[in-house]
Amino acid sequence: MEQALQPEVSAEWSLDPTAHSFSSNTSPTLTLFLTNHSDRPITIYNEYLVPSKLLAEGAFIIFDLTDDTEVQQLKTRFCDFVPPTNVHVPLRDSMFHTLYPGTPVSFIAPFGISRSPPRPSLPHQPLRPRGVHGLEIGHEYLLRPGQGWGWVRWWEYGEKDEVINPPTGKLDGRTVAYKHSKAPHPGFRFNIEALPAINFNCVE
């Protein structure tokens, strides 16, 4: 296995538009950009950096500047249990993304209350849709990154097609998803603290 240096990958994000309209049929778009500053492409297995999942997990902090208080969000914990050994685990090709040197790659999610049906909850928990909660018309807000994310566990040099189809044969889905010690290289983390806070407001 090739000895690899930790890739230099930076992150940026944006919210567009910054006026959250309650009367609009569409929500603002939250975009996370990753840029590879290495001298060659790398391909990552993006299981952790999905904005919609990060929103659901409460990875972002929303602070109400009008009321000077943090807006508490509904948090969902995702559990990914290892299937029994006799169950086939397909390789999730859509999770692989190539980061070319100097070219930002974007991951997007609607920044609003999900319009999909709520997931079943425990008997003592109310059914609530995922997404952003607690926003009020006329209030100013600050969106900041929380802690505990920004981790890329699996990555390899090269473009997606050559990475998932190496000369030894196509990657094994179970190995990639669950056998973390079999990753080609040690994972890396980018500096989420460098993400600037985003100001936004709510209108009718």
Backbone phi, then psi, for 175, in 5-degree steps? -65, -45
Kindly tell me if the per-residue pLDDT of 3 is higher than 50: yes
Q: In whole angstroms, what is the distance from residue 153 CA to residue 186 CA?
A: 7
Range in 72-76, 153-157, 163-167, 190-194 with the lowest mean pLDDT: 72-76
Q: What is the pTM of this model?
A: 0.84
Residues ≥6 apart with Cβ < 8 Å to 196: none
pLDDT, greater one: 127 or 51: 51
**Residue 163: in which H helix or E strand, if any?**
helix 160-164
What are the Cα distances from residue 175, in Å, to 90, 113, 159, 166, 168? Answer: 10, 35, 19, 14, 14
pLDDT digits (tens, 9 = 90+) for 55-100: 888 889 999 999 999 998 877 776 678 889 899 999 999 999 999 9
